[in-house]
Amino acid sequence: MGRGSVTKTALITGITGQDGSYLAELLICKGYEVHGVIRRSSSFNTSRIDHIYHDPHESGAALTLHYGDLTDSSGIISLVNRIRPDEVYNLGAQSHVAVSFDMPEYTADSVAMGALRLLEALRHADWEPRFYQAGSSEMYGMVREVPQRETTPFYPRSPYAVAKVFAHQMTVQYREAHGLFACNGILFNHESPRRGGTFVTRKVTRGVAQILAGKAEKLYLGNLEALRDWGYAAEYVDAMWRILQHHTPGDYVVATGEMHSVRELVDVTFGLVGLDFQDYVEFDERYVRPTEVDQLLGDATKARDLLGWEPRTGFRDLVALMLANDLRDFGVCTDPYDDLAGIVSDRPIRGIESLLSQGTFAS
């Protein structure tokens, strides 16, 4: 991977997740020394970052991994003080909304208290670190205005969202009370071929691939009427980086400004391979949440005006990128599907490096 000339050190929690992996790639491309926190697991959990990880015995490795957990403050404090990062990106979280209803206490511990533990570690730093908190559009919950912007009041509708509101407000608090360069990104749903398989977009693209590969006959889903503002994760990590490069700390909505229903997502995904979703999709009560977020639509004007950030990948192209990736994983050839092949040949599934070399992001 080609490396730029920046000589900064970054610490990323959640580096094994979708966003962490793209962000690590981006920062390495820019020349950062990147440190990532990984959780101890009985099996390997680094598949999203294996392509950028080199044996630590090799000289000049750009990525170093450390065991740690956001629920363990002593480990977090010791890592921060050993690494002395210029920038800290707090992406680690129990990030599944439905799971948060079953595990509210753990969700609050990792999401809310995790952010506070990092902020406390940074408050005592004798250098000037910058802090990014991975906030979520879920905080808007039962939305108070449409579209949602930085000034829209929060109305969280899940333990996950309540915990994210705490982390958001704590980040503002540490900025105002302690002068920390602490920022919130309020990111609307963002997806990619690296999205976890239980989030609805990836569940649908994998489901279609499984059906075409003869490994499944039906796809079971919950509420098809929910509306979301879905963007491409590889572009959203660029917004995170830009937020920390601005001369003053602040909070930013990151979104496409387009809203689609889960029903439309399903229709488009099946349609790209010539199938009618109504022949395959079945309703399953177990995927319905006790309280739902009916609609989310973001207004990213502030990010565009102050950071020069804009989304580039539209809804249909995003679905096509994800579907093509899953079809390939399940050994299904994309050639017979003209619509899909057309989109993907124009926009091959890329890592950050090729997006950078194309000039998609500022270097």
Active-site positions read 136, 138, 160
Tell me: does residue 91 bind ligand NAP (CB under 6 A).
Answer: yes
Contact string 331-360 vs ligand NAP (x = CB under 6 A): ------------------------------
Rounded CA-CA distance 344/330 in Å is: 17
> What is the β-pairing status of strands 130-136 and 231-232?
unpaired
Q: How many CA atoms does the CB half-sphere of 236 hold within 13 Å?
A: 28
Query: Among 26, 28, 65, 92, which residue interacts with ligand NAP (rule: CB under 6 A)?
Result: 92
Site string for ligand NAP, 114-153 (x = CB under 6 A): --------------------x-x-----------------
**Which tokens go with 112?**
């809310």
Angle 191-192-198 (CA atoms, 0-180°, nearest 5)?
Answer: 65
Find the part of the chain contacting ligand NAP (CB under 6 A) among 9-17, 53-61, 176-184, 286-294. 9-17
Q: What are 8's two structure tokens?
A: 């900064």
- Give me the 195-214 binding string for ligand NAP, x by CB under 6 A, dash otherwise: -x------------------
Rounded CA separation 8/27 (Å): 9
Nearer to ligand NAP, 48 or 175 (CB): 48
In 3D space, the residue among 45, 55, 3, 40 whose CA is nearest the CA of residue 24 turns out to be 3
Near ligand NAP by CB under 6 A, which window of 14-22, 81-89, 284-292, 309-317? 14-22
Minimum distance, C-beta of residue 91 to ligand NAP, in the bound complex (Å): 4
Which residue's CB comes closest to ligand NAP? 17
Q: What residues from 227 to 246 belong to the interface with ligand F7E (CB under 6 A)?
A: 228
Q: Determine how many CB atoms are found less than 10 A away from the CB of residue 17.
A: 23
Q: Which does 318 bind (CB under 5 to 8 A by kind): ligand F7E, ligand NAP, none?
A: none
- The item of ligand NAP, ligand F7E, none sharing an interface with residue 152, based on CB under 5 to 8 Å by kind, is none
Burial class (CB in 10 A: 0-12, 13-18, 19+), 149: middle
* Region at 300 (left for phi over 0; alpha for psi -120 to 50; beta for the rest): alpha
Residue span 56-75 as binding mask against ligand NAP, x where in contact by CB under 6 A, dash where not: -------------xxx----
17 binding partner (options ligand F7E, ligand NAP, none; Cβ < 5 to 8 Å by kind) = ligand NAP
> CA 89, 202, 67 angle in degrees (round to 5)?
35
Question: What is the dihedral angle through the alpha carbons of 324, 48, 129, 93, rounded to the nearest 10 degrees?
Answer: 90
Bridge partners, residue 42, by sequence: none
Dist CA 350 CA 50 (whole Å): 16
**Which of 223, 261, 301, 360 touches ligand F7E by CB under 6 A?**
223
106 binds ligand F7E per the rule CB under 6 A: no
> Is residue 53 involved in binding ligand F7E (CB under 6 A)?
no
Q: Rounded to the nearest 5 degrees, what angle is found at the Cα of 90, between the Cα atoms of 85 and 94?
A: 150
Secondary structure of residue 105 in the 3-state scheme = helix
- Of 167 and 262, nearer to ligand F7E (C-beta) is 262
Structure tokens at 117: 């533990």
Alpha-carbon distance of 126 to 115, in angstroms, equals 19
**Binds ligand NAP by CB under 6 A, chosen from 10, 11, 17, 361:** 17
Binding footprint of ligand F7E on the chain (CB under 6 A): 95, 97-98, 136-138, 188-189, 198-200, 203, 221-223, 226, 228, 262, 287, 289, 292
Give the binding site for ligand NAP (CB under 6 A).
13-14, 16-20, 37, 39, 45, 69-71, 91-95, 110, 134, 136, 187, 189-190, 196
